[in-house]
Amino acid sequence: MPRSLQVKGLVWLSSGERNFGGPGRIALLEAIRTEGSITGAARRVGLSYKAAWDAVDTMNNLAGEPLVQRDDDREEVVRKRLDVYHSQTRPLVEYYSGWAQRGEPGAPKYRAISGVGPVDEVKQRAFDALA
């Protein structure tokens, strides 16, 4: 009985000298789709979160547009977070900062810091404000 031949191979997409995607990255994208997160996908395909994010970032840059978009990067999510801030957080900030400014007995210390910048810089500003 004659044996049938099969054609097997791998497909790699590249842009210049940089690999856009091969079997591993395609598996990662599929895992992100099914798991719903980079963290879950990284676990599923056996990568660290950092390695998975670096692969996604490279693919996004080479594609010229995001192939994977974090939920908190979507306009409707940002709008909802701003609504929550203005309706729930801002009144607390005003209450406690006003209380601290009046200097009443038992008033909390209130320090405002900028949260803009690298995490290490923001953390240092927070520690400095608490010192």
Percent of the chain with pLDDT over 90: 48
pLDDT of residue 40: 92
Please name which of 8, 59, 13 lies closest in space to residue 32, comparing C-alpha atoms: 59
| Largest Cα–Cα separation, the chain | 96
- CB count in 10 Å sphere of residue 97: 14
Distance CA 47, CA 31 (A): 11
pLDDT of residue 66: 82
Give the domains, in start order, of the chain with CATH numbers.
13-69 (1.10.10.10), 73-130 (no CATH)
Distance CA 60, CA 42 (A): 17
pLDDT in tens, 94-115: 999 999 999 888 999 888 999 9
Distance CA 89, CA 83 (A): 10
Please state the pTM of the whole predicted model: 0.50
3-state secondary structure of 58: helix
pLDDT in tens, 71-94: 777 788 889 999 999 999 999 999
pLDDT of residue 68: 80
Distance CA 20, CA 22 (A): 7
Q: What share of the chain is helix, strand, coil (3-state, %, to 5)?
A: 60, 5, 35
Residue pair 99/108 in contact by the 8 Å Cβ criterion = yes
pLDDT of residue 1: 66
pLDDT of residue 84: 94
| Bigger pLDDT: 5 vs 94 | 94
